Amino acid sequence: MSLLRVQHLSKRFSNAGLPAVEDISFELGRGELLALVGPSGCGKTTTLRLIAGLERPDAGEIHLAGRLLASAHAFVPPEQRGVGMVFQDYALFPHLTVFENIAFGLNGAPPAERRARVSELLRLVELEDLAGRYPHQLSGGERQRVALARALAPQPSLLLLDEPFSSLDADRRREVRQQVRAILKSLGATAIFVTHDQEEALSLGDRLAVFHRGRLEQIGAPDKVFHEPATRFVAEFMGGSDFLPGRAAPGGVLTELGLLPQAQSANGHSRVDITLRADDVDFALAESGNAVIEERFFQGAFQVYRLRLDSGVALHSIQEHTVLLPVGARARVFIRAAHPLAVFPRREPGAAASQ
């Protein structure tokens, strides 16, 4: 049963400009972690703010646990929604201590209960020792956890996180990310978080929703979105995609690497691009091959090779870290993927290499 239902949500900020969000629909189940991912300005933060009630939609409806939060006729203000939010800049109240910040959402509760709840949350985010500090006395990671505890304190039915890790430096980010996911999962919390980092979205979300120019391009399980991108944008944005031109043929797509049966022709288009990731591509040294090894990138656990096909198309191939092959050598490239490959209509000339 779905906890949150978003239907045909639209919002534009200025009359002249493009809509910030256009016709967004999705549902979210109880206990689910959804990642909204996309480049900056794609509408993911606006979607989050619409759900929180910090913006009013122009059209569409939002239901939370069966209750109508926003529609053309109704608007529940943010303070009555029971939706928690962690802000990108954390928005910790600078005039309040860590304790008071976390207790801020608990007004109305008896003092003893407030104290108990705050202590419980401080324990949860492992900040018991810092209860008396002010926000400016905390490190970035600590602020992040205080913001999380503050949002969780009133036990919201839905938690929203706006770029929650973007202010942390790279090595702290991975660690805090895992901490936060563990906390949310241990509480069985339902949460939506916004990120522009595909890796973050893939590793943190139970499902992810890819936004592009105010539209929801695809929503689904991370592996599904990664391996079966619904649009060319998703394929590009979710990372590491090369595009190999081909021509629809009976039983697959005909390319310079031969007939690829894993690729199914897209909607009757004859000229297509096949999405290939580094793990789909393999090669062997061969003087009579169809490509040149152009560059090798050592990534620690593995090597990534960039191969230039004779047609000029570049493909990447991932290899074990022990595989050391000379740059400049000729190679025969072939496709090792056993899963279906995503195929899109050919992009107009310029972006992709010509055949």
Task: Identify which of residues 93 and 298 has a Cβ nearer to other proteins in the complex.
Answer: 93
Q: Within 13 Å, how many C-alpha atoms sit on residue 16's CB side?
A: 0
Rg (CA), the chain: 24
Comparing CB distances to other proteins, the nearer of 107 and 322 is 107
Cβ closer to other proteins: 150 or 227?
150
Q: Please provide the DSSP assignment of 168-201 as one string.
A: S-HHHHHHHHHHHHHHHHHHT--EEEEES-HHHH
Please state the closest distance from residue 211 (CB atom) to other proteins, in A. Answer: 18
* Residue 306 and residue 314 in contact, taking contact as beta carbons nearer than 8 Å: yes
Q: Minimum distance from CB of 135 to other proteins (Å)?
A: 7
Least gap, CB of 52 to other proteins (angstroms): 6
Tokens of 246: 């081909």
Judged by beta carbon, residue 84 or residue 252, the one nearer other proteins is: 84
Residue 146 has which token pair? 């205080």
Cα separation, 166 vs 195, in Å, equals 8
Strands (E), the chain: 2-11, 21-29, 33-37, 59-64, 67-70, 83-86, 158-162, 191-195, 207-212, 215-220, 242-249, 252-255, 258-260, 271-276, 281-285, 291-298, 302-309, 314-320, 330-335, 343-345
CB of 104 to other proteins, least distance (A): 5
DSSP string, 193-235: EEES-HHHHHHH-SEEEEEETTEEEEEE-HHHHHHS-SSHHHH
d(CA 258, CA 254) in angstroms, rounded, equals: 6
Closest approach of Cβ 77 to other proteins, in Å? 7
Nearer to other proteins by Cβ, of 80 and 299: the residue is 80
Site of interaction with other proteins (CB under 8 A): 49, 52-54, 77-81, 83-85, 87-96, 104-105, 107, 134-136, 150-151, 154, 163, 166-167
Smallest gap, in angstroms, from Cβ of residue 167 to other proteins? 6
Closer residue to other proteins in complex, CB, 44/316: 44
Least spacing, CB of residue 33 vs other proteins, in Å:
19
Nearer to other proteins, 150 or 306 (CB): 150
